[in-house]
Amino acid sequence: ETGVTQTPRHLVMGMTNKKSLKCEQHLGHNAMYWYKQSAKKPLELMFVYNFKEQTENNSVPSRFSPECPNSSHLFLHLHTLQPEDSALYLCASSQEKGSGANVLTFGAGSRLTVL
């Protein structure tokens, strides 16, 4: 295990469902991220949390709602998604030091299929 655990690994949902993705990091990091990965496209940054505070929302539609109750847990709540939202959703964490390299540790991802 990489130290970042994502559940579920696979999720199939209809467009009217509500579901959540969960991420937990066991590394003592202070920053957590959600990225979206679609086929043949670069990873797209969605949200950044630092010390539980959201520091970046990369123009993500409101049907995606993040929640960070503490610095070890991150959720992505999903509601009325579209088929084009089908992708691999990756959670990552890092120890942001203000300066110096920011190396990310990723989870294995949650493969989402929207029917």
Partner 1 sequence: SQKIEQNSEALNIQEGKTATLTCNYTNYSPAYLQWYRQDPGRGPVFLLLIRENEKEKRKERLKVTFDTTLKQSLFHITASQPADSATYLCALDMDTGRRALTFGSGTRLQVQP
User: In this complex, which beta carbon is closest to partner 1, that of residue 78 or of residue 107?
Assistant: 107
User: In this complex, which beta carbon is closest to partner 1, that of residue 18 or of residue 97?
Assistant: 97
Q: Cis peptide leading into 61, omega within 30 of 0?
A: no
Q: Helix, strand or coil for residue 85?
A: helix
Say how far apart CA 59 and CA 65 lie, in whole Å: 12
CB of 80 to partner 1, least distance (A): 26
User: In this complex, which beta carbon is closest to partner 1, that of residue 75 or of residue 79?
Assistant: 75
What's the distance, Cα to Cα, between the start and end of the chain in Å?
A: 30
What does the binding site for partner 1 look like in residue numbers (CB under 8 A)? 2, 4, 6, 31, 33, 35, 40-43, 45, 48, 56, 88, 90, 92, 94, 96, 99-109, 111
